[in-house]
Structure 1
Amino acid sequence: MKEKSVKSNGKDSRESFNSRWGFILACIGSAVGMGNIWMFSTRVSLYGGGSFLIPYFIFVILIGSTGVIGEMSLGRAARSGPIDAFGMICEQKGKRKIGEALGMIPVLGSLAMAIGYTVVMGWILKYAVGTFTGATLAPESIEDFGGRFGSMASAFGNNLWQIGALIICMAILMFGVGRGIEKANKILMPVFFILFVILGIYVFFQPGAAAGYHYIFRVDKAALLSPKTWIFALGQAFFSLSVAGNGTLIYGSYLSDEEDIPASAGRVAFFDTVAAMLAALVIIPAMATTGAQLNQGGPGLLFIYLPNLIKSMPGSTLIAMIFFVAVLFAGMTSLINLYEAPIATVQEKLHIGRKPACLVIAVIGIVMSLLIQGIVSGWMDVLSIYICPLGAGIAGIMFFWIAGEKYVEVQVNKGRENTFTKLYFPICKYIYVPICILVLVLGIALGGIG
């Protein structure tokens, strides 16, 4: 298959990242999000601490060294988003239109996920600002915290904050890849890690925290042998690394041929795991200081139980500020990535500039996110169960089954001094792609594993 040169806005050039670490931090930002904070800690707690970490690390290594590399490489090869990338792959079979149609699935999935995430970011922005005004920790009891969140999460319950979060996101995206996405992630991601390290140090010195550390790293044989532990570890790793045929692929399309993609993918997987562990090392020991058990995940953990817990801790106002600002930064980098694929697609297909494309997507994002406020949980469940694994699976089939071994090896080895392992292709073709299908099937059967 011949490489395709894709024109961007009528020019024989495409935006790109300015530095290797700019790209890596952008990919880390896309991967580090609410799943690392409100879901990972809960699953570590529910599935035996270290008993969950063992399969999780295994799946992170497997998916990081297969699917993440594949999506980055496919994006770079096509120099475009999923629609043109899939079309390019299918063109050798005379089926370009079919490929382009299939490429719409991850693009629309990315837009739909961004719309749902916009609702969540509205909540986070309100809480982050509220830590400075005193509003976040104002409720007197856990029932009050729950009532306030329920009101905020109802239909049209948080309009202005939600619109504000989207405006911030689009303002960054309008500056483009190098001056917008890259610069934002160079600031937001390091600050996120620094803030969570500060929180981790603070929690370490709290009485009773040791019980939390003991639980995180203990290995319970029964939990380790439980199929559920392995299933949810797989789901956590799969969704945390953002393999869905959209965000990672589109970021890959901005890479030069000199970039060593396998090395970059390894760094992304490593720092994404570090972020998840930092969150667990803050949240689980903090819960242990009060003797509470972490059995409530999702938004309830972040917006009800943790604020109630933080309020009882010394220096609660400062701790709340650090925590919610860090969460805001993590969420914003993920939202930027989710909106980038549809924005790039509008640019490519309508042949318009970046700012008009951002405005088109912003209007869709504002209208739709306001309409789904009361049903956002179900909205996100459908996307995580069906669309994300389907997009990842289609991208995997395109690259590893249709493009062929020689093409894959050429694309993966660009920018490398040494040839990547010959085992890469068969592992991806016969293990990674079936895993994508397995995640889809298990998600449907169990009502979601992400």
Structure 2
Amino acid sequence: MEKRDQFTGKWGFIVACIGSAVGMGNIWLFPARVSQYGGAAFLIPYFICVVVIGYTGVIGEMAFGRAMEAGPLVAFGKATERSGRGRRLGEALALIPVLGSLALAIGYSVVVGWILKYAAGAITGSALVPASVGGFEAAFGATASAFGSVGWQLAGLGVVFAIMVFGISSGIERANRIMMPLFFLLFIGVAVYVATLGGAGAGYRYLFVPESWGALLNPKTWLYALGQAFFSLSLAGSGTLVYGSYLKKDADIPFCARNVALFDTLAALIAALAIIPAMTIAGVDATQSGPGLMFIYLPGVFKQMPGGRIVMIVFFVAVLFAGLSSLINLFESPIEALQTRFGFSRRKAVAAVGAVGAVVGVCVEGIVSGWMDVCSIYLCPIGALLAGVLFFWVCGKNFVRSQIDQGAARPLGKAFEPMSKYGFCGLTLLVLVLGSVFGGIG
């Protein structure tokens, strides 16, 4: 087996984790959640949930991976072995987050294909041809149909696997060091431009002036704030864990987790600062969310703007960087599993996962919405819950504490153990149960 690659340092790791966390939830869901649930009032439960989940779950998955020096397939096995139950039980349980990560990556690759197509369409001007919302809807319907964007999807996968074949430090880290700063710069540029347009103030009131403090008494405000924070921080017992396995022993994990949570939250706020005012200027319902927001309503908004074609190019290029960085993280879990557990070389593992991703991805183009719902509603929270239980409960307090404090500037407070064992695991179970009841909360 090849020598295990590592991130060059904590900031390379942090940037890669930010890349995994910043994705479509920040861009096509967060602005709508803010608009639907009390404007600025929604930010209070959202910030609380980010702090709690970042302090427990993000730290836990990073430390779990680093402690076991492996992704979930081996890490789960080592955890159950520590409890005297042998590795097979843990490895069997790990199939849920590993295969879940692969399934989510396959669905996500379809979305990245759409983004790539719209970025190219913005450059050529073809994406702005429709004259009405109905025209934009018809254009997106053709793109999102079965086999409607095969070439673009395969092109996106080609970029992803071309990066991943170079490994962690030379591939994933280097790509994220380029894509993530550009993502923030481009989105900030869009937000600043939108601020110069007349009528943007109404959009800012959604973010900075609570529409109603009574929204805090609505249980759904807290429910969707929890879902937004949980899924935005990319917890699924796979991606953050496997990136943690490439982290050096002297890295400060609480520092890394804090910065990942901070920059992921900033990404969501910047996206909202760009999208909500643009929607209000154009007179479009700011509660629109999901693919419809990005591929139907926003192109119509850009078309109405002075210089809208340039704004659309910048927007979709920035979104493409977010999509690619998240997709890289999702594919890393199954690739790492083939390397660590089955002895594949990096090239062979990338080729095998790439072949599966391409074939299955093309086949699910027409059903990607339902495919992604199964992954996000069930597989992601189950994977996160399994990782939380195995690390915080099965591995034991002393082991967990020693692994998290290793390299840290200062030990975590005594509240960490109850917050992680009961708080995080309880919240994750809540995300699973309520997500199943409401058909998804993030």
The interval holding the TM-score normalised by the smaller chain is over 0.9
2:4 pairs with 1:14: yes
User: 1:30-60: per-residue Cα shift (whole Å, max 9, x none)?
Assistant: 0000000000011111111111111000000
Q: Which of 150, 154, 160 pairs up with 1:163?
A: 154
* Deviations 1:218-269 (CA, angstroms, capped at 9, x unpaired): 2212212100010000000000001110000000000111000000000000
8 Å contact from structure 2 (residues 46, 229) kept in 1: yes
Q: How far apart, CA to CA, are the structure 1 residues paired with 2:41 and 2:285?
A: 17
User: 2:51 & 2:176 partners in 1: Cα distance?
Assistant: 23
CA distance in 2, matches of 1:135, 1:341: 37
Deviation at 1:328, TM superposition (A): 0.3
Identity of aligned residues (%): 55
Please, which of 294, 298, 301 is the counterpart of residue 302 of structure 1?
294
Match of 1:4 in 2: none
The one-letter code of the counterpart of 1:229 is T
Taking the TM superposition and a 5 Å limit, the aligned residue runs for 1:348-387 are: 348-387=340-379
| Match for residue 75 of structure 1 among 45, 65, 87 | 65
Partner of 1:43: 33
Q: Secondary structure at the match of 2:434?
A: helix
- Residues 284-324 of structure 1 show CA distances to partners (whole Å, capped at 9, x for unaligned) of 01111123221221000000000001000000111011000
Tell me, yes or no, if the aligned pair for 1:128 and 1:321 is still in contact at 8 Å: yes
AA of the residue aligned to 2:214: A
- Matched letter for residue 289 of structure 1: I
**Cα deviations by residue, 1:373-396 (Å, 9 ceiling, x for unpaired):** 111000001111100000000000
Tell me which of 92, 100, 105 is aligned to 1:114: 105
CA distance in 1, matches of 2:121, 2:297: 16
- Of residues 184, 194, 200, the one that matches 1:209 is 200
Aligned 1:35-184 pairs, distance under 5 A: 35-95=25-85, 96-184=87-175
2:214 paired residue number = 222
Provide the rounded CA distance (Å) in 1 between the counterparts of 2:418 and 2:435: 25
Instruction: Work out whether residues 408 and 425 of structure 1, in 8 Å CA contact, stay in contact via their aligned partners in 2.
Output: no
CA contact (8 A) 2:20 2:326 kept: yes
2:385 corresponds in structure 1 to: 393
Once the 2 structures are TM-superposed, how far is the Cα of residue 190 of structure 1 from its aligned partner?
0.1
Partner of 2:433 in structure 1?
441
**1:114 & 1:183 partners in 2: Cα distance?**
21
Which of 420, 424, 441 is matched with 2:412 structurally?
420
Q: Which position in structure 2 is the counterpart of 1:255?
A: 247
CA deviations on 1:334-391 (whole Å, 9 max, x unpaired) are: 0000000010111123212111110100110011111111110000011111000000
Structure 1 residues without counterparts, runs of 5 or longer: 1-8
The farther-off stretch of 206-215 and 348-357 is 348-357
Amino acid aligned to 1:103: A
> Aligned pair 1:25/2:3, yes or no?
no
- Aligned-residue offset at 1:89: 0.7
Cα distance in 1 for residues equivalent to 2:21 and 2:333:
15
* Letter matched to residue 319 of structure 2: V
1:48–1:218 Cα contact (<8 Å) kept: no
Counterpart of 2:56 in structure 1: which amino acid? T
> 1:275 Cα deviation (Å)?
0.2
- Please report how far the alpha carbon of residue 417 of structure 1 lies from its aligned counterpart in structure 2 after TM superposition: 3.1
Question: Of 182, 186, 189, which residue of structure 2 is paired with 1:195?
Answer: 186
State the AA in 2 paired with 1:271.
Answer: F
1:233 aligns with 2:256: no
Distance in 2 between residues matched to 1:420 and 1:231, nearest whole Å:
28
Amino acid at match of 1:253: S
Does the CA-based 8 Å contact 1:192-1:327 persist in structure 2? Answer: yes
Is the 8 Å Cα contact of residues 443 and 449 (structure 1) preserved in structure 2?
yes
Q: 2:29 is matched by which residue type in structure 1?
A: M
**For residue 333 of structure 1, what is the aligned residue in structure 2?**
325
Question: What is the CA-CA distance between 1:19 and the residue it aligns to?
Answer: 2.3
Report the residue type matching 2:332 in the other structure: E
2:83–2:395 CA contact under 8 A, matched in 1: no
Deviation at 1:418, TM superposition (A): 1.9
List 4+ stretches of structure 1 deviating above 3 A. Answer: none
AA aligned opposite 1:370 = V
SS in 2 for 1:335: helix
Structure 2: runs of 5 or more not aligned? none
The offset of 1:217, in angstroms, is 1.6
Greater CA drift, 344-353 or 57-66:
344-353
Determine the C-alpha separation between the residues in 2 that align with 1:92 and 1:349: 18
1:277 alignment partner in structure 2: 269
Deviates more, 1:128-137 or 1:232-241: 128-137
Letter in 1 for 2:69: R
Q: CA deviation digits over 1:3-51, x for unaligned, max 9? A: xxxxxx1x5x411001221110000000000000000011111111111
TM-score scaled by length of structure 1: 0.97
Contact 1:86 1:398 in 2 (8 A): yes
Which letter does structure 1 place at the counterpart of 2:432? Answer: L
1:95-120 residue CA offsets vs partner (Å, 9 max, x unmatched)? 22101100111000000000000000
Question: Could you say what secondary structure the match of 1:285 adopts?
Answer: helix
Given that 2:9 and 2:247 are in contact with CA atoms closer than 8 Å, whether structure 1 keeps it comes out as no
What amino acid sits opposite 1:41 in the alignment? Answer: P
Alignment match, 1:5 = none
TM-score, normalised with respect to structure 2: 0.98
